[in-house]
Amino acid sequence: MDRTLYEWFAASVAAHGDDLALEVGEEQLTYRRLGELVDRLAGELLAAHGTVPGRVGLLAERSVLGYAGYLAVQRLGATVVPLNPSFPAARNTAIARAGELDLVLAEGGDGQELPVPVLALTRPSDAADSAPVPQLPPYEGDVDSVAYILFTSGSTGAPKGVPIRHRNVSAYLRHVVPRYEMGPGSRVSQTFDLTFDLSVFDMFAAWGSGAALVVPGRADLMAPTRFVAAKELTHWFSVPSVVSVARRLRSLAAGRMPSLRWSLFCGEPLTLQQAKAWRRAAPGSRIENLYGPTELTISCTEFRLPADSADWPRPANGTVPIGTLYPGLEQVIIDADGRPCDDGELCVRGPQRFPGYLDPANNAGRFVAYEDGGRARDFDGAGPVPGALWYRTGDRVARQGGHLVHLGRLDQQVKVRGYRVELGEIEAALRELPGVRDALVVAVPGADGESDLEAVCTGAAAEPQELLAALRLRLPAYMVPRGISRYEELPLNANGKVDRKSVTAEVAAQYA
């Protein structure tokens, strides 16, 4: 049965009131204590607004108040719209306007000027904390209402609002909670900022099962083995870039994470090298690679690496497959003409598919109608998005060995001198060279108008000319980059993913 996010949490409060729900630094809150704090903040929010709000912005870090504020909005049956304190004020202002927020909960007031009322999110005083919990109106959540709205980068330069319904998240939680054996006694990491949809797994797979959410600080992400061991975590979830950072700092010593039972990675390709390094540090943990755009509710495919690394697949691009779709979801892979194929754009429909963008103008071209043996037809964007339509992910996949392999975004397959080139294949070849820790290949405009390839790599590798010479022994000439730059580490964006756009801009500027 579908439940709202608050109902998932409230069930654990009722069943596991004395169990640990949240640990941030040295502070620990049981489910009962967290539930009381949530009710107090919900009461303050209700009093400040005068009535139950529709959409509430949450400008907060990964803190006790941030999590309690998120749940307080859910307690009132409102929609939460996370904002990031590290984002420029102009971006948060644009989101507040596009999201038509009623008000913003801001931890400590935050200081950003926003075009809507701001309510400071503060801890109750000792006196208030000991007072009776305020009476709130009966909870009237609706599984068909919007639980949260996240804003992703838009091709027009304006952020796109992605509303996710409670029903979408409930379908997701019904699958992942039992799959990863979550429940009382589980200790789950929380590495993602609240503006990143993967944080919803951390929070509600934990709180929906009676597990404890354990929050690392920024420094802890540089040394995850130390944090996992010190906090005796059972479940880890992060972007693969965390593995690369830990490898660079030599903090992935063998056997350092004996408590881990599950290690999950999502948000960008997981390389076989990253998986191997993590497996060495957490030999008792099962590793799964997940995939999914925000529009399909957190993640929608899974691939579990076999226990014996000799049985691991070896795709040409050196990444772990993204596997198969979750139960209840359907897929179709289409070519540029909209016809079914085994190597093309992944399209998905089912209970986790979002209802359409906040601005309906963004729906055009993002959904298709498709029938077996036929040709996909683009949705024109007029009116509500029918539930039977397939969402076009913009990701290129191929069927290999019964699983899907992610081949990058459609715009990461480039033409060089007439040849079709997979950037991931060159990156994999670079990563196999001695001393190369990570690699990224980008296409930049050449002087003759054609695309030229440039690579960047990290690690104690040989000189660029030696690396290029080694690549010439492995790859056709048209796949060998024009040059290789060394980076101390690959730049990451606000969500911890490798910032490919930033690297492309930097490299292109060198040859402008």
User: What's the confidence (pLDDT) of residue 381?
Assistant: 79
User: What's the confidence (pLDDT) of residue 155?
Assistant: 46
Q: Answer yes or no: is pLDDT of 154 > 90.
A: no
Q: Write out the residue limits of the CATH 3.40.50.980 domain(s) in the chain.
A: 1-163
User: What's the confidence (pLDDT) of residue 78?
Assistant: 98
Of the two residues 152 and 34, the one the predictor is more confident about is: 34
Question: Contacts by 372-375 with C-beta closer than 8 Å and gap 24+?
Answer: 372/340, 373/340, 375/337, 375/338, 375/339
Q: Write out the residue limits of the CATH 3.30.300.30 domain(s) in the chain.
A: 417-510
Task: Determine the Cα–Cα distance for residues 327 and 289; give it in Å rounded to an integer.
Answer: 16
Give the pLDDT band of residue 42 (cuts 50, 70, 90): very high
Residues 496-511 have a mean pLDDT of 84
- Average per-residue pLDDT for the chain: 90
Query: Which tens digits make up the pLDDT trace of 292-303?
Result: 999 999 999 999
User: What's the confidence (pLDDT) of residue 49?
Assistant: 93
What count of other Cβ atoms lies within 10 Å of the Cβ of residue 493?
Answer: 14
What count of other Cβ atoms lies within 10 Å of the Cβ of residue 248?
Answer: 17
Of the two residues 57 and 459, the one the predictor is more confident about is: 57
Task: Determine the Cα–Cα distance for residues 352 and 166; give it in Å rounded to an integer.
Answer: 10
Contact by Cβ (8 Å): 313, 321: yes
Give the pLDDT band of residue 411 (cuts 50, 70, 90): low
Dihedral sign for Cα atoms in the order 278, 279, 284, 286:
positive
E strand or H helix that includes residue 15: helix 5-15
Task: Determine the Cα–Cα distance for residues 306 and 311; give it in Å rounded to an integer.
Answer: 6
Give the pLDDT band of residue 81 (cuts 50, 70, 90): very high
Residues 307-320 have a mean pLDDT of 93
Q: Answer yes or no: is pLDDT of 476 > 70.
A: yes
Query: Six-digit token pair at 431?
Result: 């990563």
Region of 418 on the Ramachandran plot (φ > 0 left; ψ -120 to 50 alpha; else beta): left
Q: Answer yes or no: is pLDDT of 162 > 50.
A: yes
Nearest to 390 by CA among 414, 362, 422, 356: 356
Q: Answer yes or no: is pLDDT of 374 > 90.
A: no
Mean pLDDT lowest among 196-205, 335-344, 441-450, 502-511: 441-450
Q: Answer yes or no: is pLDDT of 206 > 80.
A: yes
Distances in Å between the Cα of 63 and the Cα atoms of 25, 187, 194, 214, 408 are 9, 17, 10, 11, 34
Of the two residues 380 and 198, the one the predictor is more confident about is: 198
Task: Determine the Cα–Cα distance for residues 303 and 91; give it in Å rounded to an integer.
Answer: 35
Give the pLDDT band of residue 448 (cuts 50, 70, 90): low
DSSP states of 51-67 = S--SEEEEE--SSHHHH
User: What's the confidence (pLDDT) of residue 243?
Assistant: 92
pTM of the model: 0.85
Of the two residues 452 and 358, the one the predictor is more confident about is: 358
* Helix, strand, or coil (residue 242): helix
Please give the CATH topology (third level) of the domain spanning 1-163. Rossmann fold (3.40.50)
Secondary structure of 78-97 in the HEC alphabet?
Answer: CEEEEECCCCCHHHHHHHHH
Please give the CATH topology (third level) of the domain spanning 417-510. GMP Synthetase; Chain A, domain 3 (3.30.300)
Of the two residues 273 and 124, the one the predictor is more confident about is: 273
User: What's the confidence (pLDDT) of residue 249?
Assistant: 84
DSSP states of 272-323 = HHHHHHHHHH-TT-EEEEEE--GGGSS--EEEEPPSSGGG----TT-B---B
Architecture of domain 216-410: 3-Layer(aba) Sandwich (3.40)
Q: Write out the residue limits of the CATH 3.40.50.12780 domain(s) in the chain.
A: 216-410
Q: Answer yes or no: is pLDDT of 54 > 50.
A: yes
Task: Determine the Cα–Cα distance for residues 357 and 149; give it in Å rounded to an integer.
Answer: 10
